[in-house]
Amino acid sequence: MSGRVGDLGPKQAEALEQFRARIQDILPHLPAQHDHFLLRWLRARNFNVQKSEAMLRKHLEFRKHMKVDSIISDWRPPEVIEKYLSGGMCGYDREGSPVWYDVIGPMDPKGLFLSASKQDFIKSKIRD
């Protein structure tokens, strides 16, 4: 069984139900609540419910710390990042996930890292 929606084994389906029950307190704060979203966390940890829960809770802490939900409206990247950091989305893979590319050949990483903070680079990738 692939561990995807519609292709779950009995143990995987049970793990999904346990996972959903254990995260009831944070479920309303998640960007999505459907099985497809929750199964991503379970597959990432081989359907270990405890590890999946810990990873998801840590993810929510990161989202809160980085203010992900308001980053587009409240944060503007420094000019050097907008001007010289290359890359972009080029489409979607066969599972529907976005494919992102970064062109690093002509980039001057030392100059960029001296001109902007590490947090600015992280936020720019989140924002994109």
String of DSSP letters for 46-87: TT-HHHHHHHHHHHHHHHHHHTGGGHHHH----HHHHHH---
Q: pLDDT class for 58, splitting at 50, 70, 90?
A: very high
Find, among 1, 80, 83, 108, the residue nearest to 47 by Cα. 1
Residue intervals in the chain for CATH 1.10.8.20: 10-66
Predicted local confidence at residue 44, as pLDDT: 95
**Four-point Cα dihedral 117, 118, 123, 126, nearest 10:** 150
Q: What is the pLDDT of residues 76-87, one digit of tens each?
A: 999 998 888 888
Is CATH 1.10.8.20 the right assignment for the domain spanning 10-66?
yes
Neighbours of 46 (CB within 10 A): 10
Contacts of 107 (CB under 8 A, 6+ apart): 84, 85, 86
- What pTM was estimated for this model as a whole? 0.76
Average pLDDT over all residues of the chain: 91
The mean per-residue pLDDT over the stretch 51-60 comes to 97
Distance CA(87)–CA(114), nearest Å, equals 20
Q: How far is CA 67 from the centre of its chain?
A: 13
| Residue 98 phi, psi (nearest 5) | -70, 145
Element (H, E) at 86: none
The answer to whether 55 touches 63, Cβ cutoff 8 Å, is: no
**Residue 50 confidence (pLDDT) above 90:** yes
Distance CA(67)–CA(62), nearest Å, equals 8
